[in-house]
Chains A and B, each alone.
Chain A
């Protein structure tokens, strides 16, 4: 077997930079720690560049057969790297705002990204597990980075439930190994198609689904999401909502459609129900949220439900649609959290909807851009959110899941209400109290504008990204 270490080049770049950042953090003075954002950003962009160079090469296995290099993994990696890069930019400003000085912050972000990239490219159940653990342990720490009471609670909750779900996953992997005799994706798939489905295998699949359900925040395993999202620092919330969710979805998609396609009937039935419950729960619970972070947390659960619709479709367009939607979702969610972060100010004091009253008068730029992101999340045409939903639902209709699509559309109709409510507060209500004005540093402004541009780009000219997403097939 060839070693092919180059396949892991992006991960290697990130890991080495992460270690160097750790060293640098211990050497640098307290005031200089935040400057570590720049090398972290550079490493992420370099990683993205490597991924771009790898694009289109013939798919291959690498690193002792533990990882794939196929367009599917590359598309996902590119998305994860760029999403984390924007999170780094937001984080820098966040740390300045809060006067925090933790160089480890950026190192941990890089390690988390390494874990996510491994999840996307994994060709072996052990590697998948490893990726999840690297991601999780880094984010457990990151979620607790705020020096108040709630974050500790958030981090604890996340840690306990995360550890619990890892147990499920590992147990599932053990069953799959027991029934097929291998942990390698291709061999497992081969074994299933030649020996057929056993009860043990189904049990293994079910347990793994529970594990992934926690990571991707699917109902009924979503309970931790609102608390953790609320307690974590805003940039980390964005990271959890976008990148970690995307990594979990990509890994789940590969596992189900590449390793377990022969169990399609079984997992499609399960996912159908999980999708409907997730969409309904996420949207309905979001209706009663007046804290913007909690609202976005529930909305992210709802979006996980839409993504499941594309996953359930179990066809080529469905895979492309999931990737495309993840990209759309990244633009609008990172953008929204970037605005929320600016408005939250020190100690994240201003996160209630009431604090958004009359925002259009005070900060037309922030109100306007946040509206774009919300409208996109609501799935109104000309935005990425609409195109994404169109492809997801079209894929499901292609597989004749008509009722699933009808329920998804109704759920997204419920969603419109709470997205619009934020716009109501910003544009149609008067400010209730004097609010301190918000500084708009250039990097934050640029990030937000970039996300707006991306939201419209995918909404009006989706061809390019959609083309890439549809080319992003498995090994």
Chain B
């Protein structure tokens, strides 16, 4: 019931907003904040009631949605250690985004989009029925499309349509794969856990070719969302053109839906295919890490720089997932949260300076440290968190990924490690050009520092960055069992594989 309440709260908020007159801005803002805040409180209850040490789904609720004419779809939600923090991240970011967007035009439509988006994102992380998952996965495109297209920058229409088409077309084949799995399951149900259990028992047998095709159908949808190089081209457009709130949600949560999908569906459902194609996927991940970092380095626009840095950071996550060991996978999962916090905060910071100066070009800035000390300090903390300074959150995730990668594929680890160095280069170089030196442009000398609201938006993220960095075990322990289960599933198949290869040889 708790999960359903969590889903309904933002939905109810959106409905309530639809009934409010759009001219009453403060009432609209208050409603959005109250409902998203309640959702956050509700998600804290999840954290309080979460039981560690089990890989089973928790807070499960399963009711029949419709069983007609051999179609059996259920409303089945549940969370485990993998989804717990992603849900918390979502419920935390949405009220912060709402708080940072109090000055947007047409605030009612904006908040409705934001809250429906929250429903979609939460649904993706808790859906345990494949049709339900697909429903949330697709439906959240609509509010995001409106956020970019209506409230975005000058190229917003192009960016919105590109975003929508890329992700929608990418996931179409996944629908075919879901239906195929359903019939492989004897047309009994779309229930993910049931299908998974039967695949593990061998009650459902997929031919190697079928498994590979299904794997690619799922993988393509997730890889575009992540985005894995070379499917990343929608990302810079969408991130840069989206309004600040849209960018925060895009980078903070939406990208994680791709990596979450890989971890939740691709690996456990199709372990043999995952193993088979791990090498080319890891190559793409490493290429993405280095390519993203190099392109970020030469960006004249801060927002674009942060956007490309996402390509680089998400490369780490994919690399970690496809190492199939506990260290790398936990690192990857933690890195999803870390990236949500640090890049979300970076987009918020960029948005705050853009509101003051109406430019994002690095060359227009310089010497901000004098006029905006609080802003500079917070920007520094987040920058350091993003480049993985020990003691802050980014370090733990990336270190675990690299450690796990060294165990399996040392060469990949060596290349990936350059990504960490490069990230320090582009972030610190950018920081230096924006904040240090003399304020040559008079406009930079008179900038006002952060308001209390803005600080209030950023402080929770900064504290989290520090907390995860200092006490990472608090965040890693709840994941242990769930991650181990995924790893075991893949390892079992790997151990049994030589036999299968022999059979095929005969």
What is the chain A residue whose CB lies nearest that of B148?
A: A428
Which of A192-200, A244-252, A337-345, A413-421 lies at the interface? A413-421
* CB of B41, distance to nearest CB on chain A (Å): 27
* CB of B231, distance to nearest CB on chain A (Å): 15
Tell me the complex Cα distance, A49–B203, Å: 48
Contact yes or no, A317 B139, CB < 8 A:
no
- Asked whether any CB of chain B lies closer than 8 Å to the CB of A405, the reply is yes
Contact yes or no, A420 B173, CB < 8 A:
no
Interface size on B, residues (CB 8 A): 36
Tell me the complex Cα distance, A427–B68, Å: 38
Residue in A317, A397, A461 whose Cβ sees the most chain B Cβ within 10 Å: A397
What is the chain B residue whose CB lies nearest that of A425?
A: B157
Q: Given known contacts A424-B161, A463-B68, is B172 in contact with A409 (CB within 8 Å)? A: yes
* CB of A374, distance to nearest CB on chain B (Å): 11
* CB of B471, distance to nearest CB on chain A (Å): 40
Residues from chain A with Cβ under 8 Å of B175 in the complex? 390, 393, 409
Residues from chain A with Cβ under 8 Å of B173 in the complex? 406, 409
- Asked whether any CB of chain A lies closer than 8 Å to the CB of B69, the reply is yes
Q: Given known contacts A416-B165, A428-B160, is B172 in contact with A410 (CB within 8 Å)? A: yes
- Asked whether any CB of chain A lies closer than 8 Å to the CB of B169, the reply is yes
Mask for B120-164, Cβ within 8 A of A = 1, else 0?
A: 000000000001001110110110011001100000110011001
Interface size on A, residues (CB 8 A): 36
- Asked whether any CB of chain A lies closer than 8 Å to the CB of B176, the reply is yes
Contact yes or no, B182 A413, CB < 8 A:
no
Residues from chain A with Cβ under 8 Å of B136 in the complex? 381
Contact yes or no, B187 A398, CB < 8 A:
yes
Tell me the complex Cα distance, A459–B187, Å: 21
Q: Given known contacts A394-B179, A420-B161, is B69 in contact with A317 (CB within 8 Å)? A: yes
Q: Given known contacts A390-B175, A394-B179, A410-B172, is B142 in contact with A375 (CB within 8 Å)? A: yes
- Asked whether any CB of chain B lies closer than 8 Å to the CB of A35, the reply is no
* CB of A456, distance to nearest CB on chain B (Å): 12
Tell me the complex Cα distance, A421–B145, Å: 12
Mask for A359-403, Cβ within 8 A of B = 1, else 0?
A: 000000000000000010000111000100011011001100010
Residues from chain B with Cβ under 8 Å of A397 in the complex? 176, 179-180, 183
Residues from chain A with Cβ under 8 Å of B135 in the complex? 381-382, 386
* CB of B63, distance to nearest CB on chain A (Å): 13
Tell me the complex Cα distance, A113–B65, Å: 35
What is the chain A residue whose CB lies nearest that of B65?
A: A463
Residues from chain A with Cβ under 8 Å of B156 in the complex? 428
Which of A68-76, A284-292, A464-472 lies at the interface? A464-472
Tell me the complex Cα distance, A429–B152, Å: 12
Residues from chain A with Cβ under 8 Å of B149 in the complex? 424, 427-428
Q: Given known contacts A428-B149, A466-B68, is B168 in contact with A413 (CB within 8 Å)? A: yes
* CB of B119, distance to nearest CB on chain A (Å): 10
- Asked whether any CB of chain B lies closer than 8 Å to the CB of A10, the reply is no
Contact yes or no, B176 A409, CB < 8 A:
yes
Contacts of A212-226 to chain B: CB distance below 8 A? none
* CB of A277, distance to nearest CB on chain B (Å): 19
What is the chain A residue whose CB lies nearest that of B210?
A: A402
Contact yes or no, B138 A416, CB < 8 A:
no
Cβ contact of B139, chosen from A381, A391, A424, cutoff 8 A: A381
Contact yes or no, B138 A380, CB < 8 A:
yes
Contact yes or no, A380 B70, CB < 8 A:
no
Tell me the complex Cα distance, A249–B60, Å: 43
- Asked whether any CB of chain A lies closer than 8 Å to the CB of B429, the reply is no
Tell me the complex Cα distance, A417–B145, Å: 12
- Asked whether any CB of chain A lies closer than 8 Å to the CB of B66, the reply is yes
- Asked whether any CB of chain A lies closer than 8 Å to the CB of B71, the reply is yes
Question: What is the interface of chain A, defined by CB distance below 8 A to chain B?
Answer: 316-317, 320, 375, 380-382, 386, 390-391, 393-394, 397-398, 402, 405-406, 409-410, 412-413, 416-417, 420-421, 424, 427-429, 461-463, 466-467, 469-470
Known: A393-B179, A397-B179, A428-B160. 11 other contacts (CB 8 A): A381-B134, A381-B135, A390-B175, A393-B175, A393-B176, A398-B183, A409-B172, A416-B164, A417-B165, A420-B161, A424-B149
The 24 listed contacts between A and B (C-beta, < 8 Å) are A317-B71, A380-B138, A380-B141, A381-B135, A386-B135, A390-B131, A390-B179, A391-B71, A393-B175, A393-B179, A394-B183, A397-B176, A398-B183, A402-B180, A409-B172, A413-B165, A413-B168, A413-B172, A420-B164, A427-B146, A428-B149, A428-B157, A466-B69, A467-B68
